[in-house]
Amino acid sequence: MRLFNKFHAVCALAVTSILLSAWFLASQHYYKRVVSTNGEGSTFKAATSFDRRLVVFGDSWSDNNAGELQGPVWTEWLCSMFQCHHENMAQTAKSLRGKYIGSVVDNDELPAPLLNLHKSPLADFKAQVSQWTAAEARAVEELVGNEEAIGYRQDRTIIIVSFGVWDVWNMLDKDYDTAMQSVDRSIGVIIDQLNVLSQSLGTNELKVILTLTPDVTFLPAFRPTGSQHIGRHKDAVQITQYWNSQLRGAAKKWDQGTIYLFDTNAFLADLIRDWQLFAAGIEESNGLGKNEEPGWENVDDACVENEQQLVMTSEVKKCETPEKFLFWNEMHLGPSAHRLMGTEIFQGIEEMWLR
């Protein structure tokens, strides 16, 4: 009888230990990268031939491997509009609690505790560029001597660089001066890597879609309470404005190609304002206030919410009309917003590069 009791006691302790470990890991937001069906260890291969090509560097807002989020991301919508080959280097990681994070421009700007929560750090812009240029060099080796094919490759490639959401988000806990210095360094990295891409493709006529970052206070995840609200909101807005101002200025000075600068912040603000004016019964001369496409029902809250369980799973609660919610989860756009963003960018580059 005594042996039986000891056996059960050991089993109970083991089960308790497992459950506590699972709870601890989940509560610590331990993250693992979301990867394609090819697997995390697979070597990226650049296409040897294509009609048109879209090469994407970015975070979870532009990662087509994170399809379990909201469906096709805006880069996929854009690519579908001119039947391009899509090479996507953007990265996303998911925690045991079902939360997502995305890449940043420079991992050196991240706080050490955050890096420790990754099974392996997500590739930042520098690492993504390094991976892609190595793959591109291997593909071009097969074209050595065929200058016409190499020139065609250069001319028919459009680069997307889309960072900022997670960069700014991770600066919110820094003091203002430190955050501004971090922004300056990150913008410098963006321009440096654009130069690397220009050199890699062997052209000073690079075609680049560069996105400004949205105001993170629009996101459902931004919900400071009490006395925190005013100060944190002000800091977030100022960091976003400084990021966009510095990026815009640097883009104007860059001389290795043509940059189409997409104002993601204005795009998102217009979508929110369209709903707000409609709710107030006001319609502006520019068309805002009609709320016709897609007919928003909610521009404040997330469609999907994760409920943490005791074990290493999370139960997902999903809204009934995802296409009518501006946000999919607390940090990401919903399916309609991605479609609209891809469409607007296509309209912006169609005359410039696609005719």
Which amino acid would we find at residue 290? K
Specify the higher pLDDT residue, 310 or 182: 182
* pLDDT-derived band at 31, boundaries 50, 70, 90: very low
Arithmetic mean of pLDDT, 91-105: 82
pLDDT at 12 over 70: no
CA atoms within 13 A on the CB side of 299: 19
The pTM for the full model equals 0.86
Predicted local distance difference test score (pLDDT) of residue 98: 64
Arithmetic mean of pLDDT, 182-198: 98
Specify the higher pLDDT residue, 10 or 143: 143
The least confident of 123-137, 162-176, 200-214, 228-242 is: 228-242
Both tokens of residue 337? 């917003």
* Length of the chain in terms of residues written: 355
Highest mean pLDDT: which range of 8-17, 247-256, 282-291, 315-324: 247-256
Which amino acid would we find at residue 70? Q
Arithmetic mean of pLDDT, 297-311: 76
Domains of the chain: 2-353 (3.40.50)
CB-CB contact of 32 with 119 (8 Å) = yes
C-alpha closest to that of 349 among 82, 108, 26: 82
Tens digits of residue pLDDT in 159-187: 999 999 999 999 998 999 999 999 999 99
Across 68-150, the runs of DSSP E, i.e. the strands, are 85-88, 92-95, 100-102
Torsion angle, alpha carbons of 76, 81, 87, 92, to 10: -10
Specify the higher pLDDT residue, 211 or 37: 211
Predicted local distance difference test score (pLDDT) of residue 310: 41
Predicted local distance difference test score (pLDDT) of residue 42: 57
Q: What is the mean pLDDT of the chain?
A: 86
Burial class (CB in 10 A: 0-12, 13-18, 19+), 87: buried
- For 320, which DSSP code? S
Tens digits of residue pLDDT in 64-82: 986 566 789 999 999 999 9
pLDDT at 277 over 90: yes
